[in-house]
Amino acid sequence: MNNLYFSAALFGTSILAGFLGAMTGLGGGVVIVPALCLLFRVDVHYALGASLVSVIATSSGAAAAYVREGFSNIRIGMFLEVATTLGALLGAYLTAMVSGNWIGVIFGVVLLYSAWTSVHGHEARPADHPVDPLALRLNLRGTYPVDGRQDEYVAEHVPAAVGIMFGAGTLSGLLGIGSGAVKVLAMDQAMRLPFKVSTTTSNFMIGVTAAASAGIYLSRGYILPALAMPVMLGVLVGSLVGSRVLTVARVKTIRLAFVLVIAALGIEMIFNGATGRL
Amino acid sequence: MAAGSDPELRSGHGLEMAMGRMLQVGVTVAALVVLAGGILYLHQLGSAQPDYQRFHGAPAALESVHGIVGGLSHFDPQSVIAFGILLLIATPICRVIFGVVGFALLRDRFYAGVSLLVLVILLFSFFSKR
């Protein structure tokens, strides 16, 4: 397979990855890295580099559409980005010390976790709960459109969310992904923000988190332009379509459709990493 | 800092809209540059065999901003793609700069400071030696 066919096949795969990533708020990286490693037999570190580039494209490309909807919360996003970017520096630093096979195993575990949260996603919560004074002091609040009117929300469990976000950033830097699942966990489950506020704010944060790892990836030679090119363009196309569908589709259906793919890729990555094939 | 009164919330949303548009333009320009470099690359090296199975790093010139910009002068395809990727990486960084300025204009000193801190962390990634 020469460069032309290789790039074309990669472009097609990346469109699909971007589409699924944007619809679920998980980002294209969780599909692109396993696809590159397992399907295209690309070295793990090159896969991380190409994925990280596509992650930034996904985040920035879909942001315009999300912003129009008015779901994302820029203060909450910026506040949590302090934790995610610091984590990303740590994660990117760790990639040089962890072997490709170990990265594969950790990747697989994160994939299975993402699949698990997709099934056991958010349940309806009691509306009556004490307001976190720290969240009020930090102005971590906003409004969310429900049936044509604006509902107010205030973040809860702020310290826990910051801790989870640092972890999300570390995973992002270590695995070349956006860690959307973990970011959504921090905002949906810890801060108890409305689900669409969590997913769209997460998408907004992903690009900034990935940019923190990008400088380190670049200087280590993980980012191969010729490999990143079809991945970035494909994921961008897919994510633009996906973010358009996001605002009209039912969230639950998307998750169930995605969970099987993610879980299968996770098992595949763990198996290949554990048997030293990556 | 005052808890968000209605006009402040509205102007905060205006800031988001401006950021969103900036991201959209940045990504579009970056994608066009990458596409141009990609066409150039496939035109010149489309029939060569891909070699991504073993890690040996990117060509040294493509591992720094300086080297990438240097390769642009003779339209080296990989340098053109890499330059597009640099533009792409710049979009979220610009977004944070937008945050610094935007929150300062909103007189939200706390969030202007938070944005500045994020910016410093991002720049550290690019200008620190590994």
- Cβ-nearest to A211 among B60, B108, B122: B122
Distances (CA, A) of A95 to A39, A101, A123, A156, B31: 22, 11, 35, 33, 27
DSSP 3-state of A144 = strand
The helix/strand count (H/E) of chain A reads as 11, 2
Mutate to test the interface with B, among A4, A152, A229 (most CBs of B within 10 A): A229
Q: Is the pLDDT of residue B69 over 60?
A: yes
Q: Output the pLDDT for position A274.
A: 94
Nearest Cα to Cα of residue A75 among A246, A197, A243, A213: A197
Q: Output the pLDDT for position B43.
A: 95
> Under an 8 A CB cutoff, do B47 and A64 touch?
no
In whole angstroms, give the CA distance from residue A203 to residue A170. 17
Q: Is the pLDDT of residue B44 over 90?
A: yes
In whole angstroms, give the CA distance from residue B117 to residue B119. 5
Tally of structural domains, chain A: 1
Residue of A nearest to B20 (CA): A64
Q: Could you tell me the sign of the dihedral formed by the alpha carbons of A236, B81, B60, A224, in that order?
A: positive
- Cβ-nearest to B21 among A3, A43, A64: A64
Higher pLDDT, A130 or B72: B72
Q: Is the full-model pTM beyond 0.80?
A: yes
Residue range(s) defining the domain that contains residue A21: 3-274
In whole angstroms, give the CA distance from residue A114 to residue A259. 8
- Cβ-nearest to B92 among A40, A59, A222: A59
User: Does residue B70 belong to any structural domain of this protein?
Assistant: yes
Residue segments in chain A with a per-residue pLDDT below the cut of 50: none
Q: Is the pLDDT of residue B118 over 70?
A: yes
- Cβ-nearest to B118 among A45, A75, A81: A81
User: Does residue B90 belong to any structural domain of this protein?
Assistant: yes
> Under an 8 A CB cutoff, do A225 and B81 touch?
yes
For this complex, say whether ipTM is above 0.90. no
Q: Output the pLDDT for position B84.
A: 97
User: Does residue B68 belong to any structural domain of this protein?
Assistant: yes
The helix/strand count (H/E) of chain B reads as 4, 0
Residues of chain A found within 8 Å of residue B79, distances taken between Cβ atoms: 225
Which whole number is the average pLDDT over B20-32?
90
Residues of chain A found within 8 Å of residue B60, distances taken between Cβ atoms: 221
Residues of chain B found within 8 Å of residue A75, distances taken between Cβ atoms: 12, 111
Phi, psi of A69 (to 5 degrees): -70, -20
Largest CA distance in chain A: 61
Residues of chain A found within 8 Å of residue B77, distances taken between Cβ atoms: 226
User: Does residue B1 belong to any structural domain of this protein?
Assistant: no
In whole angstroms, give the CA distance from residue A186 to residue A124. 16
Which whole number is the average pLDDT over B95-111?
92
User: Does residue B53 belong to any structural domain of this protein?
Assistant: no
Residues of chain A found within 8 Å of residue B44, distances taken between Cβ atoms: none
> Under an 8 A CB cutoff, do A230 and B81 touch?
no
Across all residues in chain B, what is the average pLDDT? 86
In whole angstroms, give the CA distance from residue B108 to residue B5. 12
Residues 6+ apart with CB under 8 A from A161: A80, A155, A186, A187, A190, A191
- Cβ-nearest to B96 among A93, A208, A228: A208
Which whole number is the average pLDDT over B35-40?
96
User: Does residue B4 belong to any structural domain of this protein?
Assistant: no
In whole angstroms, give the CA distance from residue A221 to residue B61. 10
Tokens of A16: 């699909």
Mutate to test the interface with A, among B24, B89, B119 (most CBs of A within 10 A): B89
Which whole number is the average pLDDT over B69-88?
93
Tally of structural domains, chain B: 1
User: Does residue B11 belong to any structural domain of this protein?
Assistant: no
Q: Output the pLDDT for position B83.
A: 96
A155 secondary structure, DSSP code: -
> Under an 8 A CB cutoff, do B17 and A221 touch?
no
pLDDT band at B123 (very low <50, low <70, confident <90, very high): very high
B75 secondary structure, DSSP code: T
Percentage of chain B modeled with pLDDT above 70? 88
Phi, psi of A18 (to 5 degrees): -65, -40
pLDDT band at B4 (very low <50, low <70, confident <90, very high): very low
pLDDT band at B5 (very low <50, low <70, confident <90, very high): very low
Q: Is the pLDDT of residue B3 over 80?
A: no
Residues in chain A: 278
User: Does residue B31 belong to any structural domain of this protein?
Assistant: yes
Query: A92: exposed, middle or buried (C-beta count within 10 Å: 0-12, 13-18, 19+)?
Result: buried
Q: Output the pLDDT for position A251.
A: 59
> Under an 8 A CB cutoff, do A43 and B52 touch?
yes
Q: Are A172 and A210 in contact (CB under 8 A)?
A: yes
Q: Is the pLDDT of residue B6 over 80?
A: no
> Under an 8 A CB cutoff, do A2 and B85 touch?
no
Q: Output the pLDDT for position B2.
A: 42
Residue range(s) defining the domain that contains residue B103: 22-42+61-127
> Under an 8 A CB cutoff, do B53 and A43 touch?
yes
The three state secondary structure string of A54-117 is HHHHHHHHHHHHHHHHCCCCHHHHHHHHHHHHHHHHHHHHHCCCCCHHHHHHHHHHHHHHHHHH
Q: Output the pLDDT for position A204.
A: 80
Q: Is the pLDDT of residue B32 over 90?
A: yes
Residues of chain A found within 8 Å of residue B53, distances taken between Cβ atoms: 41-43
In whole angstroms, give the CA distance from residue B64 to residue B84. 14
In whole angstroms, give the CA distance from residue A2 to residue A18. 24
Q: Are A209 and A180 in contact (CB under 8 A)?
A: no
Give me the total of CB pairs closer than 8 Å, taking one residue from chain A and one from chain B: 216
Q: Output the pLDDT for position A242.
A: 79
